[in-house]
Structure 1
Amino acid sequence: MKRRSVLLAALAATAASGGTAMAARNPSASDKRVVVYYQTQYTNGTYVSPLALTERNTGVTDVLVAAVHLNDLNGPYAPVHLNDDPPHSAKYDRMWRDLKTLRGKGVHVLAMVGGAAPGSFTRLDNEFDTYYPLLRDFIRQYDLDGVDLDVEEEMSLAGIERVIGALRADFGADFLITLAPVGSALKGGGNLSGFDYDDLYRSRGADIAWFNAQFYNGWGRMNSTADYDAIIARGLIPASKVVAGTLTSPANGGSGYVGMTTLKSTLRALAAKHRAFGGVAGWEYFNSAPGGTAAPWKWAAEVSSVLKR
């Protein structure tokens, strides 16, 4: 479960193969995804730049800037927030410049929408015509490569299908649409999203680039391949579309952190078992072990050393 931003927490209160629309984005056997969630842009008043991810040649493929929220239009806050502030706030100017630089180096930059602070997807579900244009215009303004839909509240299947369909229609075949379910939701178990992911994949699999499945906080583990294997064994969602999400530091909330030695062993085994293994996603960047806040880029470099062979 993603960390709830302080201000917004207070507010809240098509084929089984996935089709061919996103084929150009799927990694080869030697080019797995290394996904980094980037939510903490400031720590103790100091800006956290993501530029080291390319300057250090870490092998990162995707950076997901988090977390975007759609607020009540009748409330006291701006309709679109990135964490505690509107995305156009001056505090984010350097971040947007840095993310543009990453894109110039071939890294995809996506926006994570939703997470632990509820409301965004309820609004998209119940008042689509009012709130979807806010999301669409935000994506256009910052020229993003895609969105990560992290639905951690009740939403209807029809509602999430409508959002995905509108994104595909508005942004075309190369736009990356990912989702971030808890790991168990992809094997018919516990779920935070309301809708059934099997049903969603059957109806919209061709439009979903991949899932950043959360294998932590009791929804799965990365101390072995067992939970990931169970998803693939069902035969519905291919390994190319399941990216294994893990905590990058024991300080990042919840439970289920796996140290780097164990994580690399699990990733190595997954890559050997599943030729099209989708890769790994880390929550989150700023304090990633083993480098910590001084060198958070080392996490991506370490996992890439296993996956990019």
Structure 2
Amino acid sequence: MKKLFLALLLVVLAAPPATAATQKRTVVYYQTQYSNGATGTYVSPKPLVDRGTGVTDLLVAAIHLNDNKVVHLNDHPPSHSRYTQMWQDLAAIQARGVNVIGMVGGAAPGSFQRLDTRFDEYYPLLRDTIRTYKLNGVDLDVEERMSIAGIRRVIDQLKADFGSGFIVTLSPVASALRGGGNLSGFNYEELYRSHGSKIAYFNGQFYNGWGSAANTSNYDQIISRGLIPANKVVLGTLTNSANGGSGYVTISTLRSTVTSLKTKYANFGGVAGWEYFNSLPGGTAAPWQWASEVTAMQR
């Protein structure tokens, strides 16, 4: 009897709390690794975990598959010595449970045209980069024309090569998720119908005129179509008015929007910020504060 009691006690102690809540995503884009240009100061992402911000996903940007078949992370190969400390810091972040995801493409054209029309030549470059730097996933930011067959092939091959646990996200402009304006050349709702199970989430760009994070209306329009669920739509925002155009909303406005969204949608997908190094309210002195505030407003 005593042994049975001890066994039951161990089971109870080992069980997770029944009330444990699933954390919503706090997604941070990390493109500026050096402030003030090439000769500037290294911007470490480690405070995001050292300060306990609750960041869930860090998207290191931007991977380019160049025409000369050399992979670049921004303006240099990812093996360049300028990135040595960064890769060490990213590994430390991964060890703390944060997903490190490579963002491919973005505003610089070419990578997805090559994956679309010369897949056998260029996909291995992406695959080998993922393997070398042990990335948890990729964010496919298609801002150029690409066929739907081409993006499906990329997603399928990534899953085949890296398994079901590998994270595949996409970053369309928000209007593309509700049948509106689109930069990618393929229909995202059509893609979701065939490949939704393979897409972890969308980082919708709710800025630059493609959508707004000032209120819930554009997010609501996506969910009301009844196809893409809220848990797969992350509210993408600018973290500073200097970061890439129009549509920046203050942290207080963002808090109001997020509070409404998490009330409306129990499975709200989270918030993403472009980008890390100068995020307000902390700015360059304390850019990690944005993630901390976003995590707090989602709880």
TM-score w.r.t. structure 1 length?
0.89
**2 CA distance for matches of 1:62 and 1:253?**
21
Q: What is the alpha-carbon distance in structure 2 between the residues aligned to residue 289 and residue 306 of structure 1?
A: 15
2:284 to 253, 272, 293: 293
Question: Which residue number corresponds to residue 223 of structure 1?
Answer: 214
Q: How does 1:117-156 map to 2 (within 5 A)?
A: 117-156=108-147
Match of residue 281 from structure 1 = 272
* Runs of 4+ off more than 4 Å: none
Task: Report the structure number with the largest CA radius of gyration.
Answer: 2
Match of 2:163 in 1: 172
Aligned residue in 1 for 2:54: 59
- Cα distance in 1 for residues equivalent to 2:88 and 2:200: 26
Which of 264, 272, 275 does residue 263 from structure 2 map onto? 272
Q: Which residue of 1 aligns with 2:94?
A: 103
Amino acid of the structure 2 residue aligned with 1:61: T
Tell me whether 1:71 sits opposite 2:87 in the alignment. no
DSSP 3-state at the match of 2:103:
strand
Which residue of the partner structure matches residue 212 of structure 1? Answer: 203
Residue 200 of structure 1 is matched in structure 2 by 191
Aligned mates of 1:29, 1:52 — CA distance in 2: 24
Please tell me the residue identity of whatever aligns with 1:101: A
Describe the shift of the 1:301–1:95 C-alpha distance in structure 2 as closer, same or farther (beyond 3 A).
same
- Runs (5+) with no aligned partner, structure 1: 1-27
1:244 aligns with 2:239: no
* CA–CA separation in structure 2 for the residues paired with 1:287 and 1:117: 21
Aligned partner of 2:78 among 80, 87, 105: 87
For 1:176 and 1:259, the matched residues in 2 are separated by 30
Against the structure 1 CA distance between its residues 29 and 214, is the aligned structure 2 distance closer, same or farther, given a 3 Å change threshold?
farther
**Cα distance, 1:195 vs structure 2:** 0.3
Aligned to 2:242, the other structure's residue is in SS state coil
- CA distance in structure 2 between the partners assigned to 1:30 and 1:177 by the alignment: 20
Q: Number of aligned residue pairs: give it.
A: 277
- Which of these residues, 33, 46, 50, is aligned with residue 41 of structure 1? 33
Structure 1 residue 149: Cα displacement: 0.1
Q: Secondary structure at the match of 1:232?
A: helix
Q: Deviation of residue 30 (structure 1)?
A: 4.3
Give, in angstroms, the shift of residue 253 of structure 1. Answer: 1.8
Instruction: Measure the CA separation in 2 of the matches of 1:102 and 1:148.
Output: 18
Residues 1:260 and 2:255 are matched in the alignment: no
Partner Cα separation in structure 1 for residue 23 and residue 146 of structure 2 = 34
Q: Larger relative contact order (C-alpha < 8 A, sep ≥ 6)? A: 1
Task: Give 3-state SS (helix, strand or coil) of 1:302's partner.
Answer: helix
d(CA) in 2 for partners of 1:127, 1:41: 30
1:14-40 C-alpha deviation (Å, 9 max, x unpaired): xxxxxxxxxxxxxx9641000000000
Contact 1:29/1:276, CA 8 A, preserved across alignment: no
Identity of counterpart residues, as a percentage? 67
Equivalents in 1 of 2:91, 2:239: separation in Å?
24
Q: Distance in 2 between matches of 1:187 and 1:130?
A: 34
Coordinate RMSD, CA, aligned: 0.9
Deviations 1:144-187 (CA, angstroms, capped at 9, x unpaired): 00000000000000000000000000000100000000000000
Distance in structure 2 (CA, Å) of the matches to 1:128 and 1:225: 39
1:67 alignment partner AA: A
* Partner AA of 1:38 in structure 2: Y
Match of 2:23 in 1: 31
Cα deviation, residue 294, structure 1? 0.2
SS in 2 for 1:113: strand
Looking at structure 1, the residues matched to 265 and 191 of structure 2 have their Cα atoms a distance apart, in angstroms, of 23
Mapped partners of 2:255, 2:96: distance in 1: 26
Q: Distance in 1 between matches of 2:45 and 2:84?
A: 13
Whole-angstrom distance in 2 between the partners of 1:82 and 1:268:
35
